[in-house]
Amino acid sequence: MIEEWREIPGYDGRYQASNLGRVKSVARTQVMSDGRIRPVKERILSTSKASKYQTLSLYTGPKTRKSPTLHSVIASAFLGPRPNGMVVCHNDGNRDNNRADNLRYDTQSANVFDSVGHGAHPEAKLTHCKRGHPFDGHNLVERETKRGKIRRCRQCIALYSSIRNAKMRDARLNPAERKVLQDLQKERDAAMLAARTEGATK
């Protein structure tokens, strides 16, 4: 792919972004705070990874520095202004792949579903549900939605269903039957606690 450079909006022509995910300082003359004129050579800028995204140090004036993320300046140069309420998303889920064709503007919700689909979201990395049941084999239920794939625990689905049905029947139970139901509920709670404890120790 041929590397294409475009000016980054908001920096008075000082910087350009590449469709391959690089940023450079443009050759120019710069007026210093004491009035001296200093030539600035063209150079590729390095990035910092102090946070989960790569950031840059860009200047809008002699002593005015900003630290935008690399993907945001690439997007502004190649995708245009970011619409209100939108964020920059990485299509392949790789935060270090900041090529222009890997970026898009979308909602934060869509960005979260992307991370789940790519296995980068913390929930997608879990090996057990919150009750300690394993996310594997027959117990793992995966469902496709319009926004991505979600994972569910089959044992929890069955448990919720039994509790819901029991509550619906509870109104029709006599005192003796209600006592049996309450005992069964205590047994279920104890089983869930034991499963959660076992899952935490694995």
Q: In this model, does residue 54 exceed pLDDT 90? A: yes
Contact 92, 50 (CB under 8 A): no
Q: What band does 3 get if pLDDT is binned at 50, 70 and 90?
A: very high
Most confident of 85-89, 128-132, 136-140, 180-184: 85-89
Q: Please give the C-alpha separations between residue 138 and each of 67, 133, 134, 153, 154, in angstroms, as whole numbers.
A: 48, 11, 10, 9, 8
Nearest to 89 by CA among 55, 115, 59, 58: 115
What pairs with residue 31 in β-bridges?
Answer: 37
Q: What band does 177 get if pLDDT is binned at 50, 70 and 90?
A: low
Q: What band does 5 get if pLDDT is binned at 50, 70 and 90?
A: very high
pLDDT for 126: 63
- CATH 3.90.75.20 occupies which residues in the chain? 5-85+96-103
pLDDT for 148: 55
pLDDT for 103: 94
Q: pTM of the predicted model, to two decimals?
A: 0.58
Q: Which residue in this structure is represented by tokens 């089959």?
A: 154
Mean pLDDT of 96-123: 78
Report pLDDT digits (tens) over 128-161: 676 677 767 777 776 666 555 666 778 777 777 7
pLDDT for 200: 56
The verdict on domain 5-85+96-103 having CATH code 3.90.420.10 is no
User: Is pLDDT larger for residue 3 or for residue 160?
Assistant: 3
Q: In this model, does residue 173 exceed pLDDT 70? A: no
Q: Which two tokens stand for residue 191?
A: 């089983």
Contact 199, 134 (CB under 8 A): yes
